[in-house]
C-alpha cells in the first residue's frame, strides 16, 4: 500500500483513524500541515499520467509534420529559384537546377527510407513506451520510499492527535442518531408535514357543497346550464363559444367567484391549422376583465356570460369574413361578393349576380346575411336569405354556421336554390313533352329521357351552374356535345324560354342520338358509317327521292360495290321510339358527268373527290322478312304492344285511345344496340361474297348448288358437283377417275379463333378399297377473305382450281406407282398418311426417317420434305437434288426415289456425323479467320463432295448393295493429272481407305449380282470405255434397291480395325492385302491398259508393254513402313513366298481388271436392265463395272493364272483419283467420332481421352500438318530439309538433332516424330529428353484441332540453341508429368504455349506461333496456373 503511493500524495498523508484533515501541533510547537488524499486528487493524477504517456517521447516529431516541412521547403526553394534563375547565366542555371535536384532527391530518398522504416517501427515504439512506463514506475517507488522515510524521521516525531469527542461517538455508535443539534435548524430548514389524502378529499367535497349552494342561490343564464362540479370547481361549457372554470375561496356568501381558467371554443379548421385563434395575452386580458366584473357586479354569472359571449360572436364573424376573403381570392373571384361587413355585428354576401339581372323573383339579388340578434344579445348568430327560403330549408343552412364553415353554408344554400329552379323547369317539361323528368344527386341534376329505352348516359342532363345560377345542359354519353345541346342551353337561359322551340330541339337531339346508336352498333361489324358518299341523280330516282333527311349511309369494308342506307323516323304513337327502314344499293364508281365508268379499286390522289357513286340496283329490304327468316331469331321490344283476342297486336294508343306507359320489359341487349340493323348488316356482309362466288363459278362452267344454309344456320356454303375436266398437263381420263372418287365438295366461310373470316374448301374422297391411312379423311383448304370481295373472288376461284389441280397431280403421281400397296405390305416402307395433297411415308432402318411429298402451287412442281424420329434427317442435305429428280418426267420416278432414299440413308447418316463447326487457327497466316471443318456439297442424288478446311476434297458416290466409292476430289474428272482450283491432293488417301476395305463383303455383293446377270467379256471391255448413261427399264424389272444389304464376313477381331479377315503373315511383317493397298495405282495386266486420262478414248489398242519391274512383288524398305518405294526383288520365287491370303482377293480381282465400279448398272447384254438413279451421277472419272463370271472365286482365279507374274507399278500422285469401294459399315467407322485409337507403333501414344474425333478427320488433319511441316522447315533458317526415299516421310535436321516425321502405318491417323542425335556435334541429347520431345509432339502439337501455327512454334522451338531447348524440355517435363508437381507440393502448374493466347499482351496477334525468333532474341509464351 505504501509503495504504490504516487508522488502527489507524498506531501499530505494523515495519520490515525481520528484525523480530521490535519495533524495536531506537537508539544514543541506548531504541526506540519498535511494535504488530505481525496478521490478527486487521485483521478487528476491518473489523467496527468495518461497525458504524459500519450505524448511522443522527447526529440520526436510526427510523420505528417515532417512531410509537411519537406514539401514546404521544396516549394520555397522552387519559388526562390523561379525568381533568381532568369537573372543568371545558362551555366549557373544548370548548376543550380542540378544542385536543387540532388538535394531534393536525397531528401525524398531519406523520407522514403523513413516511411518504409516507420511501417515496421510499431514494435520499436511499443518497446520504447514499455521502457518509459517501467522507468516511471521505478521512479514512483523510489520517491514513495524517500517520502515515507522523511515522514517517519522528521514529521511523525512531533505529531500529536486531538482529544476525541467521546459522548458524541458513544451516542452515534449505540443509538445510530445524533440528537444534540440545535432546534433552530429544524424550525428554519425542515418543512412541515403535508396534509393527508383523506383531508384533501374531505376539503374538496365540502368546497363542492359550497359551490352548489352558491349556484342555487344565484341567477344563472339559460346558456350556462351545461355545467359540471368536481374537485372544488364548477366548469361552464357553451358550445362553439367558450368554456370557463370558477371556484370560491371560502364558505362566506360575500366572497366573490374566482376564475381559474378560460378557454375560447371558436375555431377555424381551414385557416387556423388546428391552432387556437386567441393569443394567450388576449386570454389573460379577458381573464382580468371578467374577474373584475365578477367582483363588482350584482349578477356576476350573467355578467360573465355576456362578456365571453360577445367576444365569441365577434370572433365568429371575423372567422367567417376571413373565409370569405380566402374564397374570393383563391377560387370564386367575382362570383362571390362581400357587400357589407360590420365588426362584431353582421356579414352580408352576394352570389348569382348575373341571374339577378333577368330573374323577376330576385330584384334585390341573391344574398346571405350572418348577423347578431340586436333584440337579445344572448342569442347566437342568425342567417337571413334573400329571396327568402322556406323555413325547413333555411334551417339546413345553419349547419355550416355551427361549425364556422362558410363554404359549407354556401354550398347548402346554392343546392337549395338550384333544386328549386330545376323543380320549376321539370314542371314545364312535363307539360310540353309528356315526360316526367327525375331530379337526383347533389348538386341537383334533372334527367330527361330522350329515347325509350334510354341509357342513363344518353339522358339529357340539366343542372344549375353553382357560380352563375344558369342552366347547364349535357349528354354524358358523348365526349363532344352536339350543337343541338348548346341551342337547348341557350334557350333555357334566355329571359323568356319558348317551350315549343324546346320540343323541336329535343326531336333533333333524338335523331342525333339515334344516329350515334347506329354507329355504335356498327363498331363490331365489318361496316362503318360514311357521310361523305355522293350518289348521282338522287332526286331523279323514285325510290331514293322518298328517303327522308334523317338517314345514315353505311359502307361495307369488304364490299365497296354495295352500300346500305338506314332511314329512321319517330313513331306517331310514341315520339320516344324509332322505326327503321333499310335500302341495299349496288353502286359503281363514275365520273361526275357519268361519261365514264371507273373501277372500284381506283382512288383519287387529291383531297377533292374525283369520282362519284352511281346506283346500279336498289333493293328495299323487308325488315320483318330479313329478321324472321330460317334459323333467325332476334329480340323485339313488346312494351307498347297488346294482344287483343288473339289477333294481330295493336298499339296501345289505337286500342285504348290514350298513351299507356307499361312497365318496360327487360332487354337482353343494351339500349344503344339496334338488333335489326346489326342483323341486316351481318346478313348482307355474309351473303354478298357468296353471291359473287356463285356468279363466278357459273361463268367458269363449274356446276354448283347455290348458296345454302347448313348445320342449323351455323354457316353458309356452296356445294360443288363437278370441277373442270380440261386441265393442262393432266389426262382427262385421270380427272374423270378422280371425280368418281370425289364424294362431296363444299365452299364455306368460317370465323377463326382470332376473329378474322376465311374461306374453307372441303373435299371428301372415297376409299376405293385402298387400305391407306388418311385416304378417307376430308381435305380442307383455308383461304383468306380479302377486304375487297369483288376483286378477291376471281383470285379465290383461281386458288381453288389450283388446289384441285394439285390434288389431281398428286393422284397422277401415285396412280402411276402401283407398287405403293405392295411395298407397304412387304414392310419395306411405312405409309403414315395420304391426304390427297400430302403423302408421308417412313423409311430407313427401323423406319425412323420420314419423307413428305406434296405439290407446290406456287412453284408448280413437286416438293419433298424430310424429318423423322431422330433430330436430323440426313436427306435434308440432298433435298434440292432429290426434288429435281422427283420432278423429272419419268414413269417410275417415285418408285426409284423411294428405293434411292432407302439405299442412301445409312451412308448419308455417316457423312453428317462429320463436324461442321467453325474453327480458328486453321489458316497459318490468318489465324483469326474462321474456317468450317467439313463442308458437304451435294452434286447429285448419289454424289457428295466433302471438303475439309477448304484444303482437301473427297468425292463420295453412293452405290447399291450397301457400297460407296470414295476418290480424291481435287483431281479433275477428265484428267487425273490436273488439280482443280485451290484444292490440294490428299497424299496417301488410297492407302488410308484401303485399311477399311472389306474385301469379302465387296466380293460377295458382286458375285451375287454376277450370278444373276453373267456378262460378256467383250461387252464388259466396251462398257468400261463408255460414258455413263441411264438405261431404261420397265416396271417389272428386278432391281437391287430393295435387296437387303449383306452383312460383312465374320471373323473380324476388332470392329475398329477394318482390315481384311484371315490375314496371313509374311516374312516382311505385312499382309499382302496391306501391301497391295499401299500401292498408289492399281496394277494392270498385259491384255488391259492403264486408265487413260482421257475418258473418251478407247481402252483397246493402247496397251503399253509391261515393265520388267512390275513382274515382281515389292520388297520391304529398310524403314519397314508401308509407304516406302517398292523395289523389285531378285528372287523369282517371291510370288509363292508372298502369296496373297483370302482377304486379298478383291485386290487380285482389281489386278485382273475387275475393280469395283461406283455406278449401278447392268451389262448391255443383260436381259433385265432397269433404270437406276445411280446413273444420274454421270461421272466420267468412274469406270464401269467389270463383273467376274459366275463360279470363279478369287482362289481359283489365282490358281488358273499362276503362270502370270504380278506386276507392281511405282506410286503415283493421282492414285487417290481411282475410286475405292467401301461398305456402309466402313464409312460409318470412318465418320464416327471416337476418343481413342490404337496406335500400331507406340500404344502409349494413343490419343487423349475425352476429345472425340473421327478417323477421317484425324487422317486429313495429320496429312495437312505433314504438308505444312515441309513448308515450315523450308522457311526456317536453322532447319535443313533432307531428301527422303520414303513416300509421305519428311526428313530434316537441326544443329544437333535429325528428325523423321511420317504417318503411323497401322492406322494413318497419327504423325510420329522420330529423333536421332547428330553424332558429328559435341552436344549430345539423352534418351529421356528425346522421348519427352517425341511425346510432346505427339500429344500436344499434332492433335486436334490440328493447328499449323502450333507446328510452326514447335519447329521454331527445336531450331533454338541447345541450351534453350534443354530449358524448354524441363518445362515440357513438368507439363507432361504433373506428378512431379504433386510430389513437390508446388502451387503452380506451368505449360508451354504453342499459339499466342488471346489474353496475352498485344505484341503478336492471337493465334500466331508462340515462339518468336528475332536475331539474337527469343520470345516464348508460357502459361502458369495456380493449383487449388
Using one digit for the tens of pLDDT, what is the confidence trace for 85-118?
A: 888 899 999 999 999 999 999 999 998 988 888 7
Q: How far is Cα 601 from Cα 589, in angstroms, rounded to an integer?
A: 9
Q: How far is Cα 471 from Cα 475, in angstroms, rounded to an integer?
A: 14
Q: 1412 φ, ψ to 5°?
A: -120, 130
Model pLDDT, residue 974: 83
Q: Rounded to 5, what percent of the chain is helix, strand, coil?
A: 40, 20, 45
Q: Kindly list the distances between the CA atom of residue 647 and the CA atoms of 642, 643, 644, 650, 1152, in Å, as whole numbers in the listed order.
A: 10, 7, 6, 9, 113
Model pLDDT, residue 771: 65
**Burial code of 475-499, b = ≥16 C-beta within 10 A, e = fewer?**
bebeeebbebbebbbebbbeeeeee
Q: Are 788 and 601 in contact (CB under 8 A)?
A: yes
Q: Pick from 202, 300, 210, 190: which is nearest to 250 by CA? A: 210
Rounded to the nearest 10 degrees, the angle between the axes of helix 675-699 and helix 499-521 is 40
Q: How far is Cα 760 from Cα 749, in angstroms, rounded to an integer?
A: 6
Q: Pick from 684, 711, 704, 685: which is nearest to 630 by CA? A: 711
Q: How far is CA 1299 from the centre of its chain?
A: 57
Q: 1331 φ, ψ to 5°?
A: -65, -35
- CB neighbours of residue 402 within 10 Å: 13
Beta carbons within 8 Å of 783's beta carbon, 6+ residues apart: 758, 759, 760, 761, 796, 799, 800
The two beta strands, 742-751 and 830-834, are unpaired
For residue 794, the SS3 value is helix
Q: Are 1076 and 1063 in contact (CB under 8 A)?
A: no
- CB neighbours of residue 907 within 10 Å: 25
**Burial code of 641-679, b = ≥16 C-beta within 10 A, e = fewer?**
eeeeeeeeeebbeeeeeeeeeeeeeeeeeebbebbbbbb
For residue 438, the SS3 value is strand
Name the grid cell of 897.
426415289
Low-confidence ranges of the chain (pLDDT < 70): 1-59, 271-274, 359-363, 532, 591-611, 629-668, 727-728, 767-771, 787-790, 816-828, 890-891, 1002, 1004-1213, 1237-1250
Q: Are 1143 and 936 in contact (CB under 8 A)?
A: no
Q: How far is Cα 829 from Cα 845, in angstroms, rounded to an integer?
A: 10
Q: Pick from 756, 763, 748: which is nearest to 713 by CA? A: 748
Q: How far is Cα 723 from Cα 734, in angstroms, rounded to an integer?
A: 13
* E-assigned strand segments in 101-212: none
Q: How far is Cα 812 from Cα 735, in angstroms, rounded to an integer?
A: 9
Q: Kindly list the distances between the CA atom of residue 192 and the CA atoms of 186, 188, 189, 639, in Å, as whole numbers in the listed order.
A: 10, 10, 10, 99
Amino acid at each position: 500500500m505504501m509503495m504504490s503511493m504516487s508522488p502527489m500524495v507524498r506531501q499530505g498523508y494523515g495519520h490515525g483513524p481520528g484525523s480530521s484533515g490535519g495533524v495536531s501541533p506537537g508539544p514543541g510547537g506548531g504541526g506540519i500541515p498535511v494535504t488530505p488524499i481525496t478521490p478527486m486528487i487521485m483521478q487528476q493524477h491518473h489523467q496527468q499520467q495518461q497525458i504524459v504517456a500519450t505524448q511522443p517521447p522527447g526529440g520526436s516529431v510526427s510523420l505528417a509534420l515532417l512531410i509537411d516541412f519537406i514539401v514546404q521547403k521544396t516549394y520555397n526553394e522552387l519559388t526562390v529559384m523561379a525568381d533568381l534563375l532568369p537573372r543568371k547565366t545558362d551555366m549557373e542555371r544548370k548548376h543550380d537546377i542540378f544542385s536543387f535536384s540532388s538535394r531534393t532527391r536525397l531528401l525524398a530518398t531519406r523520407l522514403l527510407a523513413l516511411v518504409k522504416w516507420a511501417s515496421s517501427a510499431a514494435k520499436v515504439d511499443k518497446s520504447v513506451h514499455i521502457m518509459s512506463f517501467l522507468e516511471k514506475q521505478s521512479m514512483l517507488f523510489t520517491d514513495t520510499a524517500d517520502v515515507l522515510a522523511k515522514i517517519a524521521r522528521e514529521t511523525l516525531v512531533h505529531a500529536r492527535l486531538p482529544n476525541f469527542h467521546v459522548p458524541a461517538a458513544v451516542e452515534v455508535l449505540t443509538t445510530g442518531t445524533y440528537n444534540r443539534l440545535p432546534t433552530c435548524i429544524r424550525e428554519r430548514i425542515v418543512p412541515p408535514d403535508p396534509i393527508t389524502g383523506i383531508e384533501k378529499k374531505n376539503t374538496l367535497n365540502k368546497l363542492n357543497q359550497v359551490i352548489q349552494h352558491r349556484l342555487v342561490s344565484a341567477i344563472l343564464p339559460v346558456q350556462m346550464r351545461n355545467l359540471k362540479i368536481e374537485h372544488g370547481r364548477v366548469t361552464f361549457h357553451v358550445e362553439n363559444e367558450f368554456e370557463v372554470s370558477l371556484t370560491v375561496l371560502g364558505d362566506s356568501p360575500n366572497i366573490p367567484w374566482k376564475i381559474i381558467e378560460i378557454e375560447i371554443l371558436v375555431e377555424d379548421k381551414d385557416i387556423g391549422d388546428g391552432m387556437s385563434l386567441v393569443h394567450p395575452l388576449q386570454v389573460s386580458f379577458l381573464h382580468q376583465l371578467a374577474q373584475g366584473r365578477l367582483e363588482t357586479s350584482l349578477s356576476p354569472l350573467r355578467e360573465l356570460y355576456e362578456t365571453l359571449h360577445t367576444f365569441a360572436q365577434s370572433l365568429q364573424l371575423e372567422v367567417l369574413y376571413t373565409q370569405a376573403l380566402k374564397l374570393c381570392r383563391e377560387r370564386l373571384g367575382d362570383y362571390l361578393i362581400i357587400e357589407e361587413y360590420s365588426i362584431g355585428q353582421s356579414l352580408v354576401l352576394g352570389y348569382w349576380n348575373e341571374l339577378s339581372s333577368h330573374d323577376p323573383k330576385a330584384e334585390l339579388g341573391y344574398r346571405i346575411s350572418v348577423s347578431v340578434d340586436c333584440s337579445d344579445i344572448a342569442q347566437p348568430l342568425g342567417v337571413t336569405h334573400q329571396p327568402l327560403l322556406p323555413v325547413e330549408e333555411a334551417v339546413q343552412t345553419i349547419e355550416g354556421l355551427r361549425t364556422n364553415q362558410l363554404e359549407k353554408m354556401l354550398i347548402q344554400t346554392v343546392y337549395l336554390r338550384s333544386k328549386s329552379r330545376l323543380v320549376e323547369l321539370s314542371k314545364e317539361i312535363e307539360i310540353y313533352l309528356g315526360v316526367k323528368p327525375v331530379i337526383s344527386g347533389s348538386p341537383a341534376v334533372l334527367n330527361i329521357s330522350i329515347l325509350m329505352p334510354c341509357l342513363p348516359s344518353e339522358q339529357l342532363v340539366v343542372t344549375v351552374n353553382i357560380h352563375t345560377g344558369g342552366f347547364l345542359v349535357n349528354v354524358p354519353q358523348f365526349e363532344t356535345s352536339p350543337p343541338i345541346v348548346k341551342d337547348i342551353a341557350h334557350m333555357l337561359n334566355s329571359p323568356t324560354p319558348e317551350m315549343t322551340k324546346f320540343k323541336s330541339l329535343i326531336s333533333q337531339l333524338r335523331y342525333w342520338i339515334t344516329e350515334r346508336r347506329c354507329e355504335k352498333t356498327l363498331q363490331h361489324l365489318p361496316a362503318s358509317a360514311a357521310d361523305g358518299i355522293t350518289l348521282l341523280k338522287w332526286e331523279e330516282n323514285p325510290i331514293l327521292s322518298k328517303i327522308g333527311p334523317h338517314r345514315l349511309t353505311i359502307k361495307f369494308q369488304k364490299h365497296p360495290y354495295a352500300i346500305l342506307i338506314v332511314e329512321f323516323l319517330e313513331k306517331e304513337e310514341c315520339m320516344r321510339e324509332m322505326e327503321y327502314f333499310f335500302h341495299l344499293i349496288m353502286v359503281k364508281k363514275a365520273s361526275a358527268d357519268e361519261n365514264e365508268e371507273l373501277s372500284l379499286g381506283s382512288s383519287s390522289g387529291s383531297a377533292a373527290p374525283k369520282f362519284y357513286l352511281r346506283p346500279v340496283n336498289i333493293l328495299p329490304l323487308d325488315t320483318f322478312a330479313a329478321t324472321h327468316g330460317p334459323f333467325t331469331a332476334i329480340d323485339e321490344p313488346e312494351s307498347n304492344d297488346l294482344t287483343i283476342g288473339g289477333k294481330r297486336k295493336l298499339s296501345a294508343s289505337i286500342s285504348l285511345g290514350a298513351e299507356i306507359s307499361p312497365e318496360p320489359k327487360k332487354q337482353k341487349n343494351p339500349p344503344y344496340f339496334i338488333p335489326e340493323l346489326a342483323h341486316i348488316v351481318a346478313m348482307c356482309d355474309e351473303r354478298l361474297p357468296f353471291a359473287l362466288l356463285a356468279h363466278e363459278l357459273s361463268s367458269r362452267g363449274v356446276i354448283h348448288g347455290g348458296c345454302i344454309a347448313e348445320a342449323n344456320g351455323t354457316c353458309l356454303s356452296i356445294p360443288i358437283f363437278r370441277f373442270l375436266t380440261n386441265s393442262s398437263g393432266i389426262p382427262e381420263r385421270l380427272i374423270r377417275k378422280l371425280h368418281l372418287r370425289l364424294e362431296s365438295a363444299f365452299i364455306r366461310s368460317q370465323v377463326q379463333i382470332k376473329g378474322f373470316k376465311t374461306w374453307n374448301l372441303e373435299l371428301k374422297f372415297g376409299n376405293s378399297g385402298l387400305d391407306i391411312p388418311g385416304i378417307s379423311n376430308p381435305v380442307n383448304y383455308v383461304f383468306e377473305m380479302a377486304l375487297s370481295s369483288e376483286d378477291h373472288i376471281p383470285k379465290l376461284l383461281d386458288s381453288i382450281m389450283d388446289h384441285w389441280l394439285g390434288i389431281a397431280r398428286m393422284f397422277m403421281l401415285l396412280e402411276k406407282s402401283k407398287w405403293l400397296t405392295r411395298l407397304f405390305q412387304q414392310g419395306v416402307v411405312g405409309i403414315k398418311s395420304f391426304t390427297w395433297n400430302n403423302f408421308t411415308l417412313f423409311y430407313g432402318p427401323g423406319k425412323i426417317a420420314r419423307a413428305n411429298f406434296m405439290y407446290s402451287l406456287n412453284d408448280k412442281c413437286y416438293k419433298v420434305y424430310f424429318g423423322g424420329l431422330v433430330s436430323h434427317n440426313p436427306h435434308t442435305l440432298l433435298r434440292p437434288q432429290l426434288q429435281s429428280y422427283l420432278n423429272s418426267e419419268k414413269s417410275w420416278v417415285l418408285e426409284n426415289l423411294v428405293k434411292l432414299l432407302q439405299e442412301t440413308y445409312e451412308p448419308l447418316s455417316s457423312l453428317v456425323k462429320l463436324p461442321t463447326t467453325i474453327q480458328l487457327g486453321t489458316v497459318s497466316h490468318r489465324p483469326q479467320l474462321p474456317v468450317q471443318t467439313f463442308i458437304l456439297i451435294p452434286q447429285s442424288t448419289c454424289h457428295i463432295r466433302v471438303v475439309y478446311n477448304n484444303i482437301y476434297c473427297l468425292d463420295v458416290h453412293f452405290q447399291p448393295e450397301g457400297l460407296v466409292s470414295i476418290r480424291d476430289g481435287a483431281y479433275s474428272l477428265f484428267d487425273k493429272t490436273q488439280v482443280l482450283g485451290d484444292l490440294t491432293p490428299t497424299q496417301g488417301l488410297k492407302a488410308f481407305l484401303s485399311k477399311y476395305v472389306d474385301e469379302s463383303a465387296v466380293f460377295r455383293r458382286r458375285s451375287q449380282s454376277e450370278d444373276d446377270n453373267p456378262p460378256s467379256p467383250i461387252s464388259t471391255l466396251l462398257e468400261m470405255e463408255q460414258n455413263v448413261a441411264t438405261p431404261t427399264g420397265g416396271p417389272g424389272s428386278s432391281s437391287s434397291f430393295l435387296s437387303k444389304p449383306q452383312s460383312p464376313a465374320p471373323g473380324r477381331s476388332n470392329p475398329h480395325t477394318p482390315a481384311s479377315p484371315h490375314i496371313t503373315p509374311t516374312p516382311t511383317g505385312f499382309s499382302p492385302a496391306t501391301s497391295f493397298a499401299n500401292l498408289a495405282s492399281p496394277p494392270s495386266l498385259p491384255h488391259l491398259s492403264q486408265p487413260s486420262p482421257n475418258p473418251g478414248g478407247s481402252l483397246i489398242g493402247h496397251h503399253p508393254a509391261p515393265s520388267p519391274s512390275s513382274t515382281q512383288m515389292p520388297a520391304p524398305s529398310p524403314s519397314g513402313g508401308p509407304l516406302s518405294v517398292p523395289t523389285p526383288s531378285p528372287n523369282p520365287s517371291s510370288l509363292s513366298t508372298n502369296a496373297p491370303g483370302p482377304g486379298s482377293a478383291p485386290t487380285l480381282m482389281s489386278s485382273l481388271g475387275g475393280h469395283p465400279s461406283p455406278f449401278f448398272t447392268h451389262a448391255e447384254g443383260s436381259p433385265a436392265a432397269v433404270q437406276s438413279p445411280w446413273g444420274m451421277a454421270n461421272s466420267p472419272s468412274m469406270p464401269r463395272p467389270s463383273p467376274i463370271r459366275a463360279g470363279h472365286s478369287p482362289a481359283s482365279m489365282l490358281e488358273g493364272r499362276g503362270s502370270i507374274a504380278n506386276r507392281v507399278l511405282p506410286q503415283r500422285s493421282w492414285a487417290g483419283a481411282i475410286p475405292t469401294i467401301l461398305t456402309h459399315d466402313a464409312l460409318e467407322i470412318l465418320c464416327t467420332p471416337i476418343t481413342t485409337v490404337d496406335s500400331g507403333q507406340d500404344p502409349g501414344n494413343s490419343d487423349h481421352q475425352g476429345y472425340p474425333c473421327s478417323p477421317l478427320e484425324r487422317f486429313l488433319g495429320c496429312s495437312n500438318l505433314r504438308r505444312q511441316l515441309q513448308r515450315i522447315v523450308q522457311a526456317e533458317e536453322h532447319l535443313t530439309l533432307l531428301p527422303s526415299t520414303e513416300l509421305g516421310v519428311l526428313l530434316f535436321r537441326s544443329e544437333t538433332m535429325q528428325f523423321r516425321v511420317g504417318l503411323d502405318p497401322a492406322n494413318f491417323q497419327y504423325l510420329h516424330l522420330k529423333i536421332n542425335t547428330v553424332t558429328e556435334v559435341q552436344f549430345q541429347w539423352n534418351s529421356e529428353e528425346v522421348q519427352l520431345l517425341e511425346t510432346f509432339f505427339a500429344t500436344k502439337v499434332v492433335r486436334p484441332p490440328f493447328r499449323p501455327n502450333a507446328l510452326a512454334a514447335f519447329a521454331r522451338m527445336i531450331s533454338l540453341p541447345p541450351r534453350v531447348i534443354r530449358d524448354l524440355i524441363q518445362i515440357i517435363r513438368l507439363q507432361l508429368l504433373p506428378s512431379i508437381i504433386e510430389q513437390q507440393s508446388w502451387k503452380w502448374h506451368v505449360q508451354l504455349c504453342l499459339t499466342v493466347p488471346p489474353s496475352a499482351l498485344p505484341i503478336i496477334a492471337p493465334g500466331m506461333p508462340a515462339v518468336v525468333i528475332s536475331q539474337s532474341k527469343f520470345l516464348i509464351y508460357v502459361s502458369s496456373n495456380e493449383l487449388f
